Amino acid sequence: MKLEPIFTRPTSTILWGDDRSLLNWVAYVLASETDPEFTWTDVRFSGQVLPDTDPLTRNLFPAERLNVVGARDLAPDDAAANMAVSAVIRPDEAPDDVQRVLDFLRLPATTQEMLSRPRPAGKTKVAVLSNGQRIVAFYPSPAAIDPTIRAIVGTGTTLIMTFADAGPDGRFSFENVLHLEGSVRDGWRPATLTVEKGAPGGSFVTGTQHRLAELSPLSEVLARELG
């Protein structure tokens, strides 16, 4: 099966499973095939050393497009949004416009800066967030997740998040929900990708399951990089 085009419009995808490195490889391929100039934000513990099987150790994209942050750096900024109600937003603003502004201003500064990158001509802009399980305490329910996704996608950006843990309850706030079973250690070829939810008209159809070895261009990249 060929995943092309993968994302033809701004959307949101969560990849969850047990193996961080393999999750990152799948996210890397989905991002690079859609937007060769994608940005990547990695939520990392201080002093954490990545295994050499992780794509973030392979210099596959310029360092200026990789942002390493702590979990607290991605907490929502409710104070900024509250200040905007009186300082930025006019009383005659339409309710939908007000909500869009508040959703955006509530995003952490790191995310706002990432979203300011110009959109590639004729392409969907992609932003990857890895280790999303480390910020789940700041986004405990769909009520917190939905406005964040709405604000990011509203800028014309496709969000791809990896979540190296059991699937969170709020994962169905994303348009695409992909469960990755398998690991780099056991060999990537038998690993499977189950589509728990797929955006209408997209490459991922709800209820389908695929072996990574059968998915192009995933299989080509993984064979080249992991053998």
Q: Which two tokens stand for residue 147?
A: 């406005």
Assigned domain for 223 exists = no
- Reported as a single tens digit per residue, the pLDDT across 151-201 is 999 999 999 999 999 999 999 999 999 999 999 999 999 999 999 999 988
Q: Does 40 fall in a domain?
A: yes
User: Do the domain assignments include residue 147?
Assistant: yes
* Domain annotation covers residue 176: yes
Domain that holds residue 135: 12-71+111-201
pLDDT band at residue 218 under the 50/70/90 scheme: very high
- How many domains does the chain divide into? 1
Kindly report, residue by residue over 12-50, the tens digit of the pLDDT.
999 999 999 999 999 999 999 999 999 999 999 988 999
- Cβ atoms within 10 Å of 150's Cβ, excluding its own: 15
Is 91 inside any structural domain?
A: no
- The reply to whether 67 falls in a domain is yes
Instruction: Render 31-44 in DSSP notation, one character per residue.
Output: HHHH-TT-EEEEE-
pLDDT at 113: 85
Task: For residue 25, tell me if it sits in a domain.
Answer: yes
CATH of residue 46: 3.40.50.300
- Percent of the chain whose pLDDT exceeds 90: 67
Q: Token pair for residue 105?
A: 């201003």
pLDDT tens digit sequence for 73-121: 999 877 665 665 555 555 555 556 567 777 887 888 889 888 887 776 7
Q: What is the DSSP string of 49-109?
A: ---TTSGGGTT-S-GGGEEEE-GGGGS--HHHHHHHHHHT--TTS-HHHHHHHHHHHHS-H
Q: Could you read off the pLDDT of 100-109 as tens digits, one per residue? A: 777 887 888 8
